[in-house]
Amino acid sequence: MRQLPETDRDAIRIAQDPQFTRWLDQITATGGCAHPVHLSGSTTTHDTATGEILHHYDTRSEPGERLLVRCRNRRATVCAPCSRLHAGDTFHLVRAGLLGGKNIPAAVRHRPRLFVTLTAPSFGPVHGAGERCRPRRDRAECDHGRPLGCGDVHDATDSLVGQPLCADCYDYTGHVLWHAHASKLWDRFVIDVRRRLASSVGLVQSRFAQHARLSFARVAEYQKRAAVHVHAVVRLDGPNGPDDEPPAWGTAELLIDAVHASARRVLARTPYSPAVGELALRWGAQIDARPLHTDGDGPDDDAVAAYVAKYVTKGASETGAGTDHPLTNCDDIESAPVSGHVRTLMRTCWRLGGLPEYEPLRLRAWAHTLGYRGHILTKSRAYSTTYAALRAERAHHMGHADMPDAATERHWRYVGSGHTPGAALIAVGIADDLAESRRLGLEARQAGEWNP
């Protein structure tokens, strides 16, 4: 035993425990979560009329006197099993707003719906993948003596893709401050779309909500140049949301025109800084707004939902645009496993975050995401269901919902998290088995062989 690695010795110790079977049930119930939360406590359900105890659960009978529950981290780099669950919830959340379901009427599939992409502006030329990078007839150089062009053909996996041609020419300050204001820019964009829709049909802007409602779900994605761009599903409903038909003037064409006009118009200004001045921040020139058709040309609804669901599980370290954990000091920046371009963006966040005029932007706290402090996925209230509703539906399906005419008393406390080395090894095996089982089940459904 002593000659075995620590992980193997620990796995053998766990397997020899008399309560190993029950512990294995707990790991399976968490889907093989990589960092489960350990809870201690009890739950008692009793009839409100008679006081009779209907159900009682106590962790004192569990292995280690604790219950393991999922960490629910969305990042695949942190916990792959929980990220898959989150991706599934996201898929149904986005899909319900496109095709109905989850208490959203199926009629929404016939509403004006767009798949919108908004990008960050250029902060300086960067290397690109595909055809010749940046061909030029001359051999011009920038003020720092570096070529203004690149005639190479870069593969998508080339480490140069997304890196500036000249780091000294690149506007790192503008890049970071644009990230810090991206959420505000999105809010102003949505407001302006509503105003433009109202103006285009002769409505007083303040009365738009009495005639129509704009709903959306949007996801933020980092490009190769480490700049955020936005993908959004936008839908036009009647004033009461998905239960209401939009007005006769509400068409996809009108919505597309409003999206393009608003994306070109809106701006956000940075606080004035003696070191930087005041910057006017806008969306980039690349704007795309495609109508979604239930029957016909255009992006497939399920494909759009799957794309959004796939992206929200990606961590910053997986996209190469930052880290998954906050940075506590400058030394963390120097040791972070990122490219030189991203490291400079982090340093810029740290430097600007020390200026009093930028203190409200909390740039140092968000240096690990390069100044971007918005959520990866956001949606308007009336777009579709919520994550909480999806979790409640799953709990009900598994028989964990509260019983009618009964009251439940819960007493829980946090007692730890994570796995021992041997437990982590076993959990990975269980997670892989569950993932393979889901894959085989999906293939069987697609082949028409599934017989529930």
The pLDDT of residue 76 is above 60: yes
Tokens 């209907």 appear where?
54
Q: How close are the terminal C-alpha atoms of the chain, in Å?
A: 45
Give the pLDDT band (50/70/90) at residue 1: low
Among the ranges given (82-86, 290-294, 295-299), the one the predictor scored with the smallest mean pLDDT: 295-299
The pLDDT of residue 315 is above 80: no
- Beta-strand ranges (E) seen in 51-138 are 53-58, 67-69, 113-118
C-alpha triplet 115, 119, 122: angle, nearest 5°:
160
Percent of residues, the chain, with pLDDT higher than 90: 60
Give the pLDDT band (50/70/90) at residue 75: confident
The pLDDT of residue 298 is above 60: no
Helices 20-29 and 6-15, interaxial angle, to 10°? 110
Q: Name every residue whose Cβ is closer than 8 Å to that of residue 374 and which is 6 or more positions away in sequence.
A: 182, 183, 186, 220
Task: Look at residue 257 in the predicted model and tell me its pLDDT.
Answer: 96
Average pLDDT over every residue of 299-307: 76
Residue 389, classed as helix, strand or coil, is helix
Between CA 298 and CA 391 the distance in angstroms is 31
The pLDDT of residue 159 is above 90: no
Structure-block tokens of residue 185: 């820019």
Tokens 């430097």 appear where?
351
Long-range contacts: 9-13, Cβ < 8 Å, 24+?
9/422, 10/420, 10/421, 10/422, 10/423, 11/421, 11/422, 11/423, 11/425, 11/426, 12/422, 13/422
The pLDDT of residue 428 is above 80: yes
The pLDDT of residue 451 is above 60: no
Task: Look at residue 442 in the predicted model and tell me its pLDDT.
Answer: 74
Residue 74, classed as helix, strand or coil, is coil
Task: Look at residue 295 in the predicted model and tell me its pLDDT.
Answer: 61
The pLDDT of residue 297 is above 70: no
Task: Look at residue 137 in the predicted model and tell me its pLDDT.
Answer: 84
Task: Look at residue 54 in the predicted model and tell me its pLDDT.
Answer: 85
From residue 232, give the alpha-carbon distance in Å to each of 195, 217, 220, 259, 377: 19, 6, 9, 11, 9
Task: Supply the DSSP symbol for 170.
Answer: S
The pLDDT of residue 238 is above 70: yes
Among the ranges given (109-123, 318-332, 412-426), the one the predictor scored with the smallest mean pLDDT: 318-332
Between CA 434 and CA 432 the distance in angstroms is 5
Among the ranges given (119-128, 290-299, 431-440), the one the predictor scored with the smallest mean pLDDT: 290-299
* Dihedral pair phi/psi, residue 147, rounded to 5°: -60, 140
Among the ranges given (40-54, 163-177, 244-258), the one the predictor scored with the smallest mean pLDDT: 40-54
The pLDDT of residue 309 is above 90: no
Between CA 304 and CA 91 the distance in angstroms is 9
Q: For the segment 254-279, what is each residue's pLDDT rounded down to a tens digit?
A: 999 999 999 999 999 999 999 999 99
**Torsion of the alpha carbons at 12, 14, 19 and 20, rounded to the nearest 10:** -70
Q: For the segment 162-198, what is each residue's pLDDT rounded down to a tens digit?
A: 999 999 999 999 999 999 999 999 999 999 999 999 9
Between CA 452 and CA 449 the distance in angstroms is 10
**pLDDT top residue among 134 and 401:** 134
The pLDDT of residue 317 is above 60: no
Task: Look at residue 18 in the predicted model and tell me its pLDDT.
Answer: 93
What secondary structure, in 3-state letters, does 285-348 show?
A: CCEEEEECCCCCCCCCHHHHHHHHHHHHCCCHHHHCCCCCCCCCCHHHHHHCCCCHHHHHHHHH
The pLDDT of residue 157 is above 60: yes
Task: Look at residue 201 in the predicted model and tell me its pLDDT.
Answer: 93
Q: How far is CA 116 from the centre of its chain?
A: 16
The pLDDT of residue 81 is above 60: yes
Average pLDDT, rounded, for the chain = 89
Between CA 340 and CA 33 the distance in angstroms is 33
Task: Look at residue 60 in the predicted model and tell me its pLDDT.
Answer: 93
CA quadruple 92, 94, 96, 102: dihedral sign: positive
Q: Name every residue whose Cβ is closer than 8 Å to that of residue 352 and which is 6 or more positions away in sequence.
A: 173, 176, 177, 276, 358, 361, 363
Between CA 163 and CA 167 the distance in angstroms is 8
**pLDDT top residue among 159 and 200:** 200
